[in-house]
Structure 1
Amino acid sequence: MTDKQPLIKLSGVTKTFQNGDLATRVLHGIDLEIYPGEFVAIIGQSGSGKSTLMNILGCLDKPSTGEYFFAGKEVSDFEADELAQLRREAFGFVFQSYNLLAGATACENVEMPATYSGMPPHERRERASELLSSLGLQARLDHRPNQLSGGQQQRVSIARALMNGGQIILADEPTGALDSNSGKEVMKLLKNLSEQGHTIILITHDTHVANHAHRLIEIRDGLIVSDPGPSEVTHAPINEHKLHGEPSFSTEIKEGSKTAFRSLRSNVFRTVLTLLGIVIGVGSVITMLAIGDGAKKAVVDSISAMGSNLLVIRPGGPEQRRAWEIQTLIPADVEEINKLPHVAAALPELTGSYTLRYGNVDVSTDVNATGYQYPLARKWDIASGTFFSEEDEKNFATVAVLGKTVVRKLFGDEDPLGKYIIVNNVLFQVIGIMSERGADPGGADQDDKILVPYTTGSLRIMGRRFLRNVTVSVDSEEHMMDVQNSVHSLLTERHGTEDFTIRNMASLIDTLSATQNTMTILLGSIAAISLLVGGIGVMNIMLVSVSERTREIGVRMATGARQRNIMQQFLIEALAVSALGGVIGVILGLLAAAIVGRLGMPIDYSLGPVVLAFSCAFLTGLIFGFLPARKAARLNPVVALASE
């Protein structure tokens, strides 16, 4: 044997564990050579260092000092993923406690190493079935560990060790948890594997078990005290570990997703509780934004319906109060404004509350004395009859046009057209009915009014010529500022001072929109806090999951999982919870918004809030799942396997 290259060579290997300021040296300079095809038993009592030596031999841990050569290549300074590759391609582990995944079937447990080595799924399944069948478990392929006896579980563990070829089988107290008959069967299997050319390294404290090996190495107090040297191998050893290449990224994601969803299914109640935080957060964001956008749209639509291309001129300068009692605007101002470029119509307006009578019915309503172009300027159509004309205005005609609310109050179901009503003791004939307008942004009923010619109202009803306000309709919104500046210059020149104020309805809409946007953002921010809390819940649950599944992580690392495979698995779990919660939250949020809309509150649906809420939920899973995933990926395999 000495003329051949050793498969494993340790030279001056030590291992020291640091616990705060306390340093404990477990291995004190190990020199060891193991050749291909050997059946080696390393025996020692508890605390002798045999398990630490096994962890170093199996690339689960690194030596503190010394050199480790595998097939002539030094691996002492390999990074975590390089060690994982070596474990994946060369080693198979058989543990005392089996270390099978409780939620996976026997076949799925055996397939695990191959998922990290790039073997196609159908080949994995076929090979796992063959291995289990060769070990007498052909009827147990779909059984879970809790449905198998201890001996059967250990045979599954052996099949898993052979999945990627198993050039070297590391068996750590393989019979420690078995009865004597099951223990004999396992040792017989290991002996058969040795005869097939596998290199077997058996770790035990039992001399009877160790005697099955061809070479017995005794370790005591971190030192090898007995080693007869390399044994004669009479069979052809397996000289090379089997390579399958690297799985594609899509394959890794697919396998990680299967593992993640299996884990979520095994903890349904906890998964539902985690979902709940995301669902509430996403649903709240969508509902709140729908309400906020609906309120904004209702206000803007209401003002726009009155005319977004309007300028409203009121008497009284910026510093004057009680502007409605100031007498500065006169009909002559309206005539001059009508001559300005881009002015579609300038309307004089005098308003006041008066009592109307028809027959024995009296109602109090608003009377608006205005110009004949009122429907054009205010974008308010006639429902029936006609509006008074320029001729009516010039002739001081006593004609009136009623809003729908006034019609209902005065006439009920009777047709008012052609009828006469009394307004402030003056007889007016009803010639038209306005279409229904509804409430204005302040909640006032716009249909509760009567419209009469300005000249008639000024002379016969109000008894004054000074105007309450002037409404200017601009032919295009793009000329709003030009007309506003022209009107301002005109009135300042005519009055000799700025004794008026001009309100630009387009600017008012912009201001109200900005205010409503602020309120919407505020509502959305409050709802987003729920989403943040849900994200923290995801992180907490994932951290708990990492703690609960530490041994599983160790098993996966022992079978060749890279750090990114572990990270992918836990990130996918977090993203799956967040994405599913996001979908449910979107549905419930839209449903809640629909219910609120049914109750009479204005609601505006748009794609933006839905995409925003779902994206935030997805990012929540990514961000808050990253820390637990990274923690899982950085676990030390030895520490993870030792976890209870």
Structure 2
Amino acid sequence: MTTAAHAPGDAPRPLIELQGIRKSYGGRGGRGGKEEGAGSPATTVLHGISLRLYAGEFVAVVGASGSGKSTLMHILGCLDRPSAGRYLFDDQDVASFDADALAWLRREAFGFVFQGYHLVPSESARENTEIPALYAGMPEAERRARATALLERLDMGARLDHRPHQLSGGQQQRVAIARALMNGGRIILADEPTGALDSKSGAEVMALLHELADAGHTIILITHDRSVAAQARRIIEIRDGRIVADSGEHTGEGAAAIAAAPSPVFSRPSVTGGASLPADIREATRAAWRVMWSNRFRTGLTLLGIVIGVASVIVMLAVGGGSQRKVMAQFETFGTRTMFVSVQLASLRNPSAPLTLDDALAVRALPNVEGVAPYIEDRVVVRRGNIDHLTEGGGATVDFSRVLGWGVSRGVMFDAEDERRIAKVAVIGETVRQRLFADGQDPVGQDILVDKVPFQVVGVLASKGATNGEDQDDRVVVPLSSAATRVYGHPHPTWLAVQVRDIDKAQETAAAIEAQLERQQAGRHVLIWNRVEALRVQTETARAMTLMLGLIAIVSLIVGGIGVMNVMLMTVRERTREIGIRVATGARQRDILRQFMTEAVLVTSVGGTVGVVAGLGIVVGLMLAGVPVLFSLAASVGAFGCAVLTGVIFGFMPARNAARLDPVVALAGE
């Protein structure tokens, strides 16, 4: 920004020049009126105001209420735009300034002192003073030091941390003056600065304004009190929107006096073109937390919806995931790609043909079949010493371990050579080991009797647990050849375990197996337990249930978001004047948008954090109660992220409304 200083002998250049300024309300496109074309009559407040103001002047604009004084001040301070005419500031046409440029001009050139003080209620005296410098991007330490120095200069050093409600009217006005000077206060616009003060406080404020004028500041005093106006060096009288008297232009040497001000406190500080993003967000977060804390009950109710939503997402997905894992665990007992084939007995007089090893070879040759394990099964008595135990006996080929995914926990599995030579070797289940070898001896290498036939234990099967109430570890398995010749006396498998390659073709493979076995033996009734298809259906069902539960939880999160939006809309209405104050002190639209967006996100972030903690607590409680749950870090992070996103989405409209508020309307709000 250039200065209005001039060299000796040069004609002085006005700092502010108004040329035929008019301001109307209502009518077509006028602020505060109806929509264009509605036909409401326009009300003209200013009628062709032309005025020149010079740097260093102390000017009083006097007039009765309704004469247009405040409207003129709003236009001078770039809080409002004229309906017609030109406003030149330092030879620059203000009409060409966009919203950010106007905010920069208010921040760099003007300082406002209002009749109603217009301090932010939640901020201390020092924090109120710092507001213009915050939006100017002044470093925090420098900002704090300057605010402290200004307040101490105005005899407010003992009340730096007092809130506005803890200060008298005169003290609040002193804070307002300090705020006006924070960024240098080149031009002080004082609107009825003594109107709400007692005579003593009013005299003190006027003394301060005189001191500022002597220091080189340009003072524009708006008042209806002629005794107050008489203290100015130039008096302009306005009536019905027109200038009716002007005591004359006093150019003085104000511009030069600014540089030579007697007190360095009033010298213009070095500021940048705007607040930095990190500093702005940090300050917005601090202010948002203070607002939340001052409205704890309402904030708590708002947080409740977010807390319930986030906790619900975590708990619902944990329960759904636990149920799905339980289903998968049950199916993984004998492999997730395995189906079982047996034959049904038609009747005692007409029995169905049993399965044979040739059937196993025929099934093995079918497409999509990766392996077949025939298995002879029946109840047997096993004995060691004087201990007898009734268990499930089985005869299997070497494919048993691979097809059913069943290895050994100790020892080895019998091999093809054992099967070829009809070896009397066996592997036992964990339950059988506990019954026969309760003395703690290693069963590997020990002999046991299987239906009175001696077998040597070569391995212990890995534990599978119980499936559908049946103990899968209560069994003994021997080579199929040994079972057929030494134990059961026949080679017919009880069932075939069939492993498929592609689970998506499991249904087709089951039909092919049934057709093949019926071709092998006409009239045979084949039963196929298609565990692969059942697993697919169960998995899809569990996934659908989890999705449904998650959607229900998300709905509750959306409801919480609507609550946030409702509270933010109420907050904007309640803090309309604060928004006007911040705009008057140099805040840009994006600064206001960022502040209220920060508040919305802070609310949902706190709610999300509490919701995650509550959700994890419930999950732990369910685990202790024996409910199958599966904690997911991704679900917790996702739920928290959704909560924050809810704040962004539902906080945007209220924040945008706040940023778009008309400064003049906002300042007049309650």
The TM-score normalised by the length of structure 2 is 0.80
Asked if the contact 1:535/1:621 (under 8 Å) is kept, the reply is yes
Q: Tell me what 2:539 maps to.
A: 513
5 Å matches for 1:483-498? 491=517, 494-495=520-521
Deviation (angstroms), 1:276: 2.3
Deviation (angstroms), 1:61: 0.6
Answering whether residue 314 of structure 2 is matched by residue 286 of structure 1, we say yes
Q: In structure 1, what residue type is equivalent to 2:308?
A: I
Answering whether residue 603 of structure 2 is matched by residue 595 of structure 1, we say no
Q: Tell me what 1:138 maps to.
A: 157
Answering whether residue 334 of structure 2 is matched by residue 306 of structure 1, we say yes
Deviation (angstroms), 1:337: 4.9
Q: In structure 2, what residue type is equivalent to 1:42?
A: V
Deviation (angstroms), 1:580: 2.4
User: Cα 1:327–1:491, aligned 2, differ >3 Å: closer, same or farther?
Assistant: closer
Q: In structure 2, what residue type is equivalent to 1:121?
A: E
Gaps of 5+ in 1: none
Deviation (angstroms), 1:189: 0.8
Q: Secondary structure at the match of 1:63?
A: coil
User: Cα 1:495–1:161, aligned 2, differ >3 Å: closer, same or farther?
Assistant: same
Q: In structure 1, what residue type is equivalent to 2:186?
A: Q
Asked if the contact 1:398/1:427 (under 8 Å) is kept, the reply is no
Q: Over residues 64-118 of structure 1, what are the superposed CA-to-partner deviations in whole Å (9 max), with x where a residue is unaligned?
A: 1111111111103432222111110110000111111222221111111011112
Q: Over residues 451-490 of structure 1, what are the superposed CA-to-partner deviations in whole Å (9 max), with x where a residue is unaligned?
A: 799899999999999765311357x889998998996896
Deviation (angstroms), 1:251: 2.7
User: Cα 1:236–1:346, aligned 2, differ >3 Å: closer, same or farther?
Assistant: closer
Deviation (angstroms), 1:213: 1.2
User: Cα 1:163–1:401, aligned 2, differ >3 Å: closer, same or farther?
Assistant: closer
Q: Over residues 118-145 of structure 1, what are the superposed CA-to-partner deviations in whole Å (9 max), with x where a residue is unaligned?
A: 2222221221122112111222222222
Answering whether residue 99 of structure 2 is matched by residue 72 of structure 1, we say no
Q: Secondary structure at the match of 2:157?
A: coil
Cα distance in 1, alignment partners of residues 498 and 329 from structure 2:
19
Cα distance in 2, alignment partners of residues 334 and 595 from structure 1:
49
Deviation (angstroms), 1:607: 2.8
Cα distance in 1, alignment partners of residues 577 and 99 from structure 2:
17
Deviation (angstroms), 1:405: 7.2
User: Cα 1:161–1:332, aligned 2, differ >3 Å: closer, same or farther?
Assistant: same
Cα distance in 1, alignment partners of residues 311 and 377 from structure 2:
49
Q: Over residues 595-636 of structure 1, what are the superposed CA-to-partner deviations in whole Å (9 max), with x where a residue is unaligned?
A: 212222222233321221122122111111111111111111
Q: Over residues 401-457 of structure 1, what are the superposed CA-to-partner deviations in whole Å (9 max), with x where a residue is unaligned?
A: 98777999x999899998989xxxx989998886653333x5655457787998999
Answering whether residue 147 of structure 2 is matched by residue 121 of structure 1, we say no
Cα distance in 2, alignment partners of residues 549 and 326 from structure 1:
86
User: Cα 1:212–1:486, aligned 2, differ >3 Å: closer, same or farther?
Assistant: same
Q: In structure 1, what residue type is equivalent to 2:105?
A: L
Q: Tell me what 2:466 maps to.
A: 439
Q: Tell me what 2:279 maps to.
A: 251
User: Cα 1:406–1:527, aligned 2, differ >3 Å: closer, same or farther?
Assistant: farther
Deviation (angstroms), 1:566: 0.8
Q: Tell me what 1:553 maps to.
A: 579
Deviation (angstroms), 1:224: 1.9
User: Cα 1:338–1:203, aligned 2, differ >3 Å: closer, same or farther?
Assistant: closer
Q: Tell me what 1:102 maps to.
A: 121
Asked if the contact 2:156/2:171 (under 8 Å) is kept, the reply is yes
User: Cα 1:43–1:479, aligned 2, differ >3 Å: closer, same or farther?
Assistant: closer
Asked if the contact 2:55/2:251 (under 8 Å) is kept, the reply is no
Deviation (angstroms), 1:514: 3.2
Asked if the contact 1:93/1:559 (under 8 Å) is kept, the reply is yes
Gaps of 5+ in 2: 1-5, 27-32, 260-267
Asked if the contact 1:43/1:203 (under 8 Å) is kept, the reply is yes
| Percent identical residues | 47
Deviation (angstroms), 1:366: 9.1
Q: Over residues 558-595 of structure 1, what are the superposed CA-to-partner deviations in whole Å (9 max), with x where a residue is unaligned?
A: 00011111111111111222222222222222222122
5 Å matches for 1:11-90? 11-18=19-26, 19-20=33-34, 21=38, 22=40, 23-90=42-109
Q: Over residues 504-537 of structure 1, what are the superposed CA-to-partner deviations in whole Å (9 max), with x where a residue is unaligned?
A: 6556544433332222212211111122122222
The TM-score normalised by the length of structure 1 is 0.83
User: Cα 1:263–1:304, aligned 2, differ >3 Å: closer, same or farther?
Assistant: same
2:184 aligns with one of 144, 165, 173: 165
Cα distance in 1, alignment partners of residues 610 and 526 from structure 2:
56
2:206 aligns with one of 170, 187, 199: 187
Q: Tell me what 2:645 maps to.
A: 619
5 Å matches for 1:531-546? 531-546=557-572
Cα distance in 2, alignment partners of residues 223 and 497 from structure 1:
113
Cα distance in 2, alignment partners of residues 459 and 419 from structure 1:
18
Q: Secondary structure at the match of 1:262?
A: helix
Asked if the contact 2:376/2:492 (under 8 Å) is kept, the reply is no
Cα distance in 1, alignment partners of residues 223 and 620 from structure 2:
69
User: Cα 1:387–1:560, aligned 2, differ >3 Å: closer, same or farther?
Assistant: closer
Asked if the contact 2:360/2:372 (under 8 Å) is kept, the reply is no
Q: Tell me what 1:371 maps to.
A: 396
Identify which range, 304-313 or 565-574, moves more after superposition.
304-313
Deviation (angstroms), 1:187: 0.8
Deviation (angstroms), 1:34: 1.5
Answering whether residue 585 of structure 2 is matched by residue 577 of structure 1, we say no
Asked if the contact 2:401/2:407 (under 8 Å) is kept, the reply is yes
5 Å matches for 1:432-511? 436-440=463-467, 442=468, 445-446=471-472, 469-472=495-498, 491=517, 494-495=520-521, 500=526, 509-511=535-537
5 Å matches for 1:376-415? 377-380=403-406
